[in-house]
Amino acid sequence: MTKSKRTTAAPPSPPVLGPRALNRATLARQLLLSRSPMSATAAVDHLVGLQAQNVKPPYYALAARLDGFTPEALSRPMADREVVRIVTLRSTIHTHTADDCLTLRPLVQAARDRELHHFRAGLAGVDLDRLAATARALVEEEPRTMKELREALLEDWPDADPQALSVAARCKLPLVQVTPRGLWGRSGQVRLTTAEHWLGRPARPAPAPDAAVLRYLAAFGPASVKDMQTWAGLTRLRDAFERLRPRLVTFRDENGAELFDLPDAPRPDPDTPAPPRFLPEFDNLLLSHADRTRVVPPELKGRHWQGNIAYRTLLVDGALAGLWRLDGDALVIEPFGHLDRTRWAEVTAEAERMLGVLHPGTAYDIRFGTVRG
């Protein structure tokens, strides 16, 4: 009697998510599909920080995302040391909660070590552990500017490259920008001290990458391994995704890339309306994926950048649709294409709302500038 061969059915192919489905899912995680009632501190925590090369972008970012937001809602916890400004993800300044400051900074230390490697020629003969101890004592004695720190370190290492010394201090130590820097409507030089000194508690051990993967997906998913590596400025995160695979769901994008997500995370209908939003330069939404077509149409790739400068962006129907700027007494909107009367009215209403939140009592004309075709 001949035995029949057993056949094993191939596992079903993961569902495919097109750019619009990915767009709506990401907007929901980013609090941009509808405004959230959560506090500014809770939003900073949920979003795993806000990119903050300049002082104002985090305020504009939260004004676009939160219901009832006022600048004081972020300035107050920053003054109270509940949130801080520190170099973390992608070697850039972010506004983080105090807890994330003390955990995410150790997580990305490998990237800081790689950055420091580029300055090794200017650090010949410098004992980096001694430099870190010296720099810590200096900034914990009193917050210092980078110029002041550089000049003080040169006294011990006069033959070293001055810039390399200050970069080494920043890479070896978790240096935060102390207030009033970062407060809305206040000015002040960038002065630095250690996170531990500013917050009055020690740094925590670096979290396992697995925990960071789950938080990233909650704020930016569905996403690929490459997407998260772009966001974090780290490499070799595949193993963490594989460990988590039994707890995650998977999809494919239209190019076949595997996407991971939390099972219960929001994935709205692709036809869900997406209101216009005014975003600051370097907003997380446009920087946190290797494939940005979920927000940036392919034909507009690179249109919101020039060199190392990012422009303030306008979202219409959830996607990049133009740029904006404050120019004297005017808010100038420069769309990339035609906006019909209904869209113009929606964009204008959102502009008036944003100005009322961040610039109350100041009269601005809302103008449409030259269309950038």
- In angstroms, the CA 370 to CA 335 distance is 8
pLDDT tens column, 248-273: 999 999 999 999 999 999 999 999 99
Using the predicted structure, report yes or no on whether residue 188 has a pLDDT greater than 90.
no
Mean of pLDDT over the chain: 93
Instruction: Round the CA-based radius of gyration of the chain to a whole number and report it.
Output: 23
Q: Where are the alpha helices (DSSP H) in the chain?
A: 19-29, 40-46, 57-65, 72-79, 98-107, 109-117, 128-141, 146-156, 162-172, 195-199, 209-220, 225-232, 238-244, 341-358
Using the predicted structure, report yes or no on whether residue 38 has a pLDDT greater than 60.
yes
Question: Given pLDDT bands bounded at 50, 70 and 90, which one contains residue 6?
Answer: low
Using the predicted structure, report yes or no on whether residue 65 has a pLDDT greater than 50.
yes
Mean pLDDT of 83-103: 95
List the structure tokens of 139: 């900034």
What is the CB neighbour count within 10 angstroms for residue 268? 16
> Which three-class secondary structure state does DSSP give residue 97?
strand
Question: Given pLDDT bands bounded at 50, 70 and 90, which one contains residue 373?
Answer: very low
Question: Given pLDDT bands bounded at 50, 70 and 90, which one contains residue 2?
Answer: low
Distances (CA, A) of 299 to 213, 321, 361, 369: 30, 11, 39, 20
Using the predicted structure, report yes or no on whether residue 3 has a pLDDT greater than 80.
no
Question: What was the pLDDT predicted at 9?
Answer: 56
Using the predicted structure, report yes or no on whether residue 372 has a pLDDT greater than 60.
no
Contacting residues for 177 by C-beta, under 8 A, at least 6 apart: 84, 85, 86, 93, 190, 191, 192
Mean pLDDT of 321-333: 94
Give residue 283's Cα distance to chain centre: 6
> Which three-class secondary structure state does DSSP give residue 306?
strand
- In angstroms, the CA 83 to CA 300 distance is 34
Using the predicted structure, report yes or no on whether residue 158 has a pLDDT greater than 50.
yes
- In angstroms, the CA 359 to CA 159 distance is 49
Phi, psi of 14 (to 5 degrees): -60, 145
Q: What is the DSSP secondary structure assignment for residue 202, as one 8-state letter?
A: P
Give residue 298's Cα distance to chain centre: 22
pLDDT tens column, 275-301: 999 999 999 999 999 999 999 999 998
**Whether the Cβ atoms of residue 45 and residue 51 lie closer than 8 Å to each other:** no
Using the predicted structure, report yes or no on whether residue 133 has a pLDDT greater than 90.
yes
Q: Choose among 289, 106, 90: nearest CA to 208.
A: 106
Mean pLDDT of 336-353: 94
> Which three-class secondary structure state does DSSP give residue 283?
coil
- In angstroms, the CA 203 to CA 196 distance is 6
Proportion of the chain above pLDDT 70, given as a percent: 96
Using the predicted structure, report yes or no on whether residue 34 has a pLDDT greater than 70.
yes
